[in-house]
A and B are shown apart, each in its own frame.
Chain A
Amino acid sequence: MSALPASSPGYAHLVGRWGRVAVISVPMVFLLLVFLLPFLVVFKISVSEMDTVFFKDVLTFKDDAVFLALKYGNYISLTQDALYLTAYLSSIKIAAITTAICLFIAYPFAYFLARSPADRRPALLMLVMLPFWTSFLLRVYAWKMLLADAGVFNNVAIALGLIAEPVKMMNTPFSLVLGMVYTYLPFMILPLYANLVKMDLTLLEAALDLGAKPWQAFWRITVPLSASGIIAGSMLVFIPCVGEFVIPELLGGPETLMIGHVLWNEFFGNNDWPMAASVAVAMVALIIIPLALFNKYQAESTAGGRV
């Protein structure tokens, strides 16, 4: 059942071998130039020796010999210095919490969107995407205003007599996760919506007909059938969250050390480019694992006749 069209000789001759190569090569070349090449440069830096200001070449030619010097010390210190491990774990934890909260909010939202009358959906979708019309930085700064000790929320709550003293919200895990959820929520809603809107509603009728109560039909039919949407949305939120730099910088605090901050610090604080590069390479490696799992699931479910 796998990949019939690609290997089928039926219409391959119409497109032609070179036609297909040409179509595929455009994104391939693009990715090669903007992702793979820079990544290789970063990787090279990560294994380079550093003298005071510059890093040395990995390959050197001296006395009719080629010298390949790969310094793996940075990777070893990654595992030995608790700072990196803590930052990685903290990033993953915060990204996971953000993803979970996004999923929790987005699922009912996307469900409601997908089940609303077809003529109303474009307007509702527009509302989901509306925040993108303003600069992301401006919107995160706006949260600063809202959450600050002398910010809107605290002032209103004090004025209403709900609290006596301002509650510290800024520069806490709360403000960080709030900012991340706020920023990444649409990336969860849209794939879930795209999945739920395609669902065949007679399947739910069939479940009810067979004796499933509405919530059972939801758990047994709707949720499993939207698995690929849940996974796609989770990846779209989780992956950028792990490496997020701007939001923790603006809304985070001392308790919310994230790997993006460490990376920035190594590059521009310590000016230790090889160390910074190895942090980056390790981060990509970490993110590739869930991505590979996702790809595997996608391939399986596509082979299973559904997307």
Chain B
Amino acid sequence: MAPTEPLARAAPAAPFLQIQHIVKQFDDVFAVDDVSLDIAQGEIFALLGSSGCGKSTLLRMLAGFEVPTSGHILLAGQDIVGLAPYERPINMMFQSYALFPHLTVWENVAFGLKRDGMPKGQIEERVTQMLDLVQLKPYAKRKPHQLSGGQQQRVALARSLAKRPKLLLLDEPLGALDAKLRQRTQLELVDIIERVGVTCVMVTHDQEEAMTMATRIGVMSEGKILQIGKPAEIYETPNCLFVADFIGTVNIFKGAVEVDEADHVIIASADCKHYVSHGITGTQGMEVHVAVRPEKMSVQKEPVNDAQRELAAEVGYNLAQGVITELAYLGSLTTYHVKLGSGLVVKVTHTNDARHGSSSLTWGDAVYVWWSGSDVVVLTR
């Protein structure tokens, strides 16, 4: 019987949260434009996008603060579009925390439980449990303004988890914290959410936050979801120019397909010819973008010898010459800006893995930039 278990986990009966063709129109503007999305139970799903992309509107529709113009939202099979916020088994942690300033920490956490008419003893027990979870028990009698930003954030989390919601919504959960605290809190937050086991949809504009916390990410732009995938998928195999450019840093070469074979493609661009060691869905002569991440590129003064290439077929390809125009030493890594013949500036990062690195590259050096054909992503849109 043992083998059935992982199978069952891999293919759940029906997605826990189903967002079906949701549209939200404000006057003439489509804030959310036909978004469909399935989220499994226990997932932490991040909606990632810049401000005004519709991610917050989508979250507010899940919470019930906005009514979709059309479409359905099914939570555990039940359509919740017609339910008021106070009727939904969904709780939200607000970006500004929205802690009630006139109530103590304890009363804030107990607020939702009291509205449900839970017996006093149980409220006592649940609030204590929640404050334990976020390690704020000694602060139960304080008012929100007597707490630090990090503590307020944890009260907000405890309050949104207290009712054991089926779905937890996080609106820019760490947006109000300073950078140092944010990094620590990211993992803490994930740890708590996973311990509770609640399904979670978060909204963020911070890709690092999304990558660290989420099991899957949906990248949004102009009301549409462009790509859904695990953090590594989004980063390594973006499906369009916007996603490649939005997540991390990327070098983009404009080019046209010259040779289109099943196992490789050759693309000609102004600075070099690209040998791509996988097939693409395109046609010969098609205009495409070639994307290469800076950390996947190498930079050196000496000409690239054939032994350095992984594939013999790549000799003479994926290689460009240029001049170092900028150099940023960041401690763990160094970023070089190399201006290529066409004027295109590519960024190359090197990990400083030795204390006295052999690299003696500096401003104005004429260099070779090269990369492997398997690290290239060809974007057709």
Contacts and interface: CB of A to CB of B under 8 A. Distances in A.
Interface of A: 1, 200, 202-203, 205-213, 216, 220-221, 224-225, 227, 304-306
Interface stretch (B92-100, B196-204, B265-273, B285-293): B92-100
Given A202-B94, A205-B94, A225-B101, A210 B65 contact: no
A212 B91 CA distance: 12
Given A207-B111, A209-B91, A210-B163, A305 B101 contact: yes
B148 to A, nearest CB: 14
Contact of B65 (A205, A305, A306): A205
Nearest to B115: A211
B91 A306 contact: no
Interface of B: 63-65, 84-86, 90-92, 94, 96, 98-102, 111-112, 115-116, 143, 145-146, 159-160, 163
Contact of B100 (A206, A209, A211): A206
Contact of A210 (B91, B102, B143): B91
B153 to A, nearest CB: 14
Most buried by B among A202, A210, A224, A306: A210
Contacts of A213: 86, 115
A211 B98 contact: no
Contacts of A202: 94, 96, 98
B94 A208 contact: no
Contacts of B84: 208
Contact of A205 (B85, B143, B146): B85
16 contacts: A200-B98, A202-B94, A202-B96, A206-B92, A206-B94, A206-B98, A208-B84, A210-B91, A210-B111, A211-B112, A211-B163, A213-B115, A225-B101, A227-B102, A304-B102, A306-B145
Q: What is the interface of chain A mostly: helix, strand, loop, or mixed?
A: helix
Contacts of B94: 202, 205-206
Contacts of A210: 86, 91, 111-112, 115, 159, 163
Contacts of A208: 64-65, 84-86
Nearest to B88: A209
Contacts of B99: 206
Contacts of A304: 101-102, 143, 145
A31 B174 CA distance: 50
A175 B63 CA distance: 51
Nearest to B87: A211
B204 to A, nearest CB: 18
Which 3 interchain pairs have the tightest Cβ spacing?
A210-B112, A305-B145, A206-B98
A209 B86 contact: yes
User: Which of B64, B65, B91, B102 gathers most chain A CB within 10 Å?
Assistant: B102
A219 B65 CA distance: 20
Contact of B102 (A1, A206, A224): A224
A206 B112 CA distance: 10
A212 B101 contact: no
Contacts of A224: 102
A283 B62 CA distance: 59
A35 to B, nearest CB: 34
A200 B65 CA distance: 15
A225 B90 CA distance: 25
Contacts of A200: 96, 98
A265 B146 CA distance: 55
Given A208-B85, A211-B86, A305-B145, A203 B115 contact: no
A211 B101 contact: no
Nearest to B117: A211
A200 B98 CA distance: 8
Given A206-B100, A209-B91, A1 B85 contact: no
Given A209-B91, A211-B163, A306 B101 contact: yes
Contact of B85 (A209, A220, A227): A209
A63 B294 CA distance: 107
A304 B146 CA distance: 9
Nearest to B63: A209
Contacts of B112: 210-212
Given A225-B102, A304-B143, 7 more contacts: A206-B92, A209-B86, A211-B86, A211-B112, A224-B102, A305-B143, A306-B145
A205 B90 CA distance: 13
A207 B92 CA distance: 10
A1 B101 CA distance: 15
A205 B63 CA distance: 10
A275 B241 CA distance: 90
